[in-house]
């Protein structure tokens, strides 16, 4: 039903666009070239890494930028397909058919990584998780910016290990805080597009869904965009064996369904408003160490409204204001008991955030950004059949957080110095200082980055409820990074970076001698590694090769591969579920300007994880063999007439045995991934 409603939406908007031709449909070639040049300049500045947008090579962070063209060429089905090609990223199972990101040897699911859509934080506020599988639209994206390193100084307590920013199509000036001199003067065209996709595995469908996008200039200064998506998918069709030895087929049982609406409005370059609604349902038979038939269903709903306004007093001074409203109902479990639904207790959250910011450009070499932010967050516990929490206070706490921040960019002939400081004063938890220092530079074809960040993760309402209402300490991470890059030729570039991460007071879930509760670990978690990437671009296409290496230097026991019989750490250099090495290849070859072949290959080394219980009740530690994931996608543009596109391909073409290994000890064996899936995609853009 969700997909049919999108089809009706497409035809209604198509009629509007057919009746109203874009005002700039007859622009001449020079104007078109000017438009394309402005577009390239606008997208070359990255705002994810600093409050002052900078180029990718100069930005004070280790970055990966995935363009719209690269996403479409790859035939990616969801965000996981895109992020698998990013150095340092991998994925493991969390619980109940939900997989989370692992970054540089650290599990980042519960508030470790911030995910943004058009700058709006999409993490659920109850425990900070991000449901990546099929949860976010992969069509109609302008680009994806990935910060492979801490971002708390910019984004607060859910960006301890990294940030992902999905920028959808619609507004050319997507960097709201860009310098006046950097802003594109080009205007977007009226457009409408619809995409449908279907994927078939051996026993059942893999992915199926439809997405819709429309953008229209209401006046010379006003523009509205609408993006919508409805999708269904099976996480696997293979058999799952629980820790207790129960076997169950996952086809049409472990599945996901989601609906998204994203409506944006822009007036001039000064006002941007956006509303996002998401409704996601997840069916699961894997419940801890057992299986559950019929499956339980967890629902995630969110509504979010955001408004930004800025005013330039002159070329040097700008004031900006932001208001954000968010209402979420995540982890709303419907549990099948005796073939009837019975709900867990669940928590809803309502959050209001207001901020003001001043940008001052003293001269071309010095730029200062400072501001204030205040957040008020309320929680409500809805009591149903039985409690999901060990402690139920009559009134849940109210969270308030006051944040002043300042950042300075100082340019010189030797490079750019970025200094930043953020202070978070929380009404329930310890205050946090998040300083940063970065020195970056470009000399001809060579660039370098020296980076230091202090980041944090604030405890969530879930960790507080599951800690018997104890006051937990925030997690704190120190990060040191260095990157060197060189443009070897006009078409060939190479970059390599090294990092060191050290986290103290990690919030972990475990037994404290009395009960299983969240608590702060007393042991530091430390990792180090190297990431390298080679990019080759030619008229016929491109090739990207990268390699990631991660080594654990110190770790908490529940994140280590331990023989449960002897108590010995089998390999202290590895974290549970995370491979030491990952190699990726991503290619694009244009047979004709309209027809291309796009192969990709991902190779990960062996990893450790816990499997079933043995006869004595001990979990069995297993070393899983390396995995090879190969994909092949054919893209054919302007088929028969302009705007019609077809795509066919195969994901997991070798039918490898993918595993989502749980990266901590919670008696959950690896969840099987999808088998070989043949995909078909058709899209049309007016």
**pLDDT, tens digit, 9 for 90 and up, residues 68-104:** 999 999 999 999 999 999 999 999 988 888 888 999 9
Q: Tell me how far the alpha carbon of residue 49 is from its chain's centroid.
A: 15
pLDDT of residue 177: 54
Domain total in the chain: 1
Q: Is residue 175 very low, low, confident or very high in pLDDT (cuts 50, 70, 90)?
A: low
Contact status, residue 256 vs residue 134, Cβ threshold 8 Å? yes
* Mean pLDDT within 249-278: 92
Of 446, 445, 444, 450, nearest in space to 416 by CA: 450
User: Residue 549 is encoded by which pair of tokens?
Assistant: 């290496």
Better-predicted residue by pLDDT, 616 or 345: 616
pLDDT of residue 387: 52
Q: Taking the model in full, what pTM does it have?
A: 0.90
pLDDT of residue 37: 47
Q: CA 300, CA 505: separation in Å to the nearest integer?
A: 29
Backbone angles phi, psi at 181, to 5 degrees: -70, -15
Question: CATH number, domain at 567?
Answer: 2.40.170.20
pLDDT > 80? residue 245: yes
* Mean pLDDT within 319-335: 90
pLDDT of residue 52: 85
Q: Is residue 390 very low, low, confident or very high in pLDDT (cuts 50, 70, 90)?
A: low
User: Residue 380 is encoded by which pair of tokens?
Assistant: 């409500």
pLDDT of residue 512: 53
pLDDT > 60? residue 685: yes
Q: CA 665, CA 583: separation in Å to the nearest integer?
A: 27
The number of residues making up the chain comes to 686
pLDDT of residue 510: 67
Residue 539 CB contacts under 8 Å (≥ 6 apart), including other chains: none
Backbone angles phi, psi at 73, to 5 degrees: -65, -35
DSSP state of 180: G
pLDDT > 90? residue 1: no
pLDDT of residue 180: 45
pLDDT > 60? residue 41: no
Say what percent of the chain tops pLDDT 90: 63
pLDDT > 90? residue 294: no
Number of neighbours of residue 474 by Cβ within 10 angstroms: 21
Q: Is residue 269 very low, low, confident or very high in pLDDT (cuts 50, 70, 90)?
A: confident
Q: CA 26, CA 224: separation in Å to the nearest integer?
A: 21
pLDDT of residue 352: 98
pLDDT of residue 35: 39
* Mean pLDDT within 370-392: 75
pLDDT > 50? residue 225: yes
3-state secondary structure of 88: coil
Backbone angles phi, psi at 87, to 5 degrees: -60, 140
Better-predicted residue by pLDDT, 297 or 155: 155
pLDDT > 60? residue 223: yes
Helices (H) and strands (E) in the chain, counts: 6, 41
* Mean pLDDT within 214-218: 93
Q: CA 12, CA 21: separation in Å to the nearest integer?
A: 15
pLDDT > 60? residue 237: yes
3-state secondary structure of 76: coil
pLDDT of residue 469: 67
* Mean pLDDT within 593-607: 96
Of the listed ranges 205-219, 333-347, 465-479, the one predicted with least confidence: 333-347
Per-residue pLDDT reduced to its tens digit, 409-424:
999 999 999 999 999 9
Q: H-helix or E-strand containing 38?
A: helix 29-44
pLDDT > 50? residue 646: yes
Average pLDDT over the chain, rounded to an integer: 86
pLDDT of residue 388: 53
Q: Is residue 111 very low, low, confident or very high in pLDDT (cuts 50, 70, 90)?
A: confident
Range of the domain at 152: 2-685
Q: Is residue 391 very low, low, confident or very high in pLDDT (cuts 50, 70, 90)?
A: low
pLDDT > 60? residue 36: no
């Amino acid at each position: 039903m969700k997909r049919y409603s999108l089809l009706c939406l497409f035809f209604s908007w198509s009629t509007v666009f057919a009746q109203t031709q874009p005002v700039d449909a007859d622009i001449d070639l020079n104007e078109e070239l000017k438009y394309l040049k402005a577009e390239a300049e606008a997208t070359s500045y990255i705002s994810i890494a600093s409050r002052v947008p900078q180029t990718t090579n100069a930005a004070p962070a280790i970055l990966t930028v995935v363009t719209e063209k690269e996403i479409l060429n790859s035939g990616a089905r969801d965000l996981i397909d895109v992020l698998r090609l990013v150095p340092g990223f991998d994925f493991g199972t969390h619980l109940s058919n939900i997989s989370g990101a692992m970054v540089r040897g650290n599990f980042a699911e519960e508030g470790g990584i911030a995910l943004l859509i058009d700058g709006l934080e999409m993490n659920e506020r109850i425990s900070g998780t991000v449901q990546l599988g099929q949860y976010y639209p992969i069509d109609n994206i302008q680009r994806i910016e990935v910060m492979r390193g801490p971002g708390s100084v910019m984004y607060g307590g859910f960006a301890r290990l990294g940030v992902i920013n999905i920028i959808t199509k619609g507004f050319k000036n997507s960097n709201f805080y860009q310098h006046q001199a950097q802003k594109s003067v080009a205007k977007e065209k009226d457009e409408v597009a619809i995409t449908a996709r279907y994927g078939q595995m051996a026993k059942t469908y893999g992915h199926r869904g439809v997405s819709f996008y429309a953008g229209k200039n209401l006046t010379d200064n006003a523009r509205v965009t609408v993006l919508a998506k409805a999708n269904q998918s099976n996480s696997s069709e293979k058999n799952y064996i629980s820790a207790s030895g129960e076997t169950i087929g996952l086809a049409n049982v472990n599945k996901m369904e989601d609906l998204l609406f994203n409506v944006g409005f822009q007036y001039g370059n000064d006002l941007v408003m956006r509303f996002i609604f998401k409704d996601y349902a997840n069916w699961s038979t894997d419940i801890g160490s057992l299986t559950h038939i019929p499956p339980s269903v967890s629902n995630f709903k969110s509504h979010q409204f955001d408004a930004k306004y800025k005013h330039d007093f002159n070329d040097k001074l700008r004031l900006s204001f932001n208001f954000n409203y968010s209402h979420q109902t995540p982890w709303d479990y419907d549990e099948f008991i005796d073939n009837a639904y019975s709900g867990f207790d669940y928590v809803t959250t309502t959050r209001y955030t207001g901020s003001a910011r001043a940008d001052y450009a003293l001269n071309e070499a010095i730029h200062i950004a400072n501001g204030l932010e205040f957040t008020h967050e309320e929680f409500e516990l809805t009591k149903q059949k039985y409690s999901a929490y060990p402690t139920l206070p009559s009134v849940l706490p109210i969270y308030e957080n006051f944040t002043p921040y300042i950042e300075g960019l100082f340019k010189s002939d030797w490079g750019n110095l970025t200094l930043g400081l953020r202070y978070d004063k929380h009404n329930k938890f310890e205050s946090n200082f998040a300083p940063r220092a970065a020195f970056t530079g470009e000399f001809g074809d060579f660039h370098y980055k020296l980076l230091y960040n202090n980041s944090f993760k604030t405890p969530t309402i879930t960790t507080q409820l599951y800690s018997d209402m104890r006051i937990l300490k925030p997690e704190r991470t120190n990060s040191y990074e260095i990157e060197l890059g060189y443009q070897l030729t006009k078409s060939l570039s190479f970059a390599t970076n090294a990092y060191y991460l050290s986290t103290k007071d990690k919030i972990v879930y475990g037994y404290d001698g009395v009960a299983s509760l969240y608590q702060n670990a007393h042991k530091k978690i430390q990792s180090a590694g190297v990431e390298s990437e080679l990019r080759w671009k030619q008229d016929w296409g491109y090739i990207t090769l990268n390699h990631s290496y991660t080594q654990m230097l110190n770790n908490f026991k529940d994140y280590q591969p331990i023989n449960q019989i002897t108590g010995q750490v089998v390999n202290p250099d590895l974290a549970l579920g995370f491979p030491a090495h990952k190699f990726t290849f991503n290619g694009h070859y244009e047979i004709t300007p309209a027809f291309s072949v796009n192969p990709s290959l991902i190779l990960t080394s062996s990893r450790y994880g816990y499997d079933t219980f043995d006869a004595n009740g001990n979990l069995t530690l297993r070393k899983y063999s390396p995995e090879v994931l190969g994909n092949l996608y054919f893209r054919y543009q302007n088929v028969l007439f302009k705007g019609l596109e077809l795509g066919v391909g195969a994901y997991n073409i070798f039918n490898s045995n993918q595993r989502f290994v749980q990266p901590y000890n919670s008696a959950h064996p690896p969840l099987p991934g999808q088998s070989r899936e043949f995909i078909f995609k058709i899209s049309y853009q007016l």
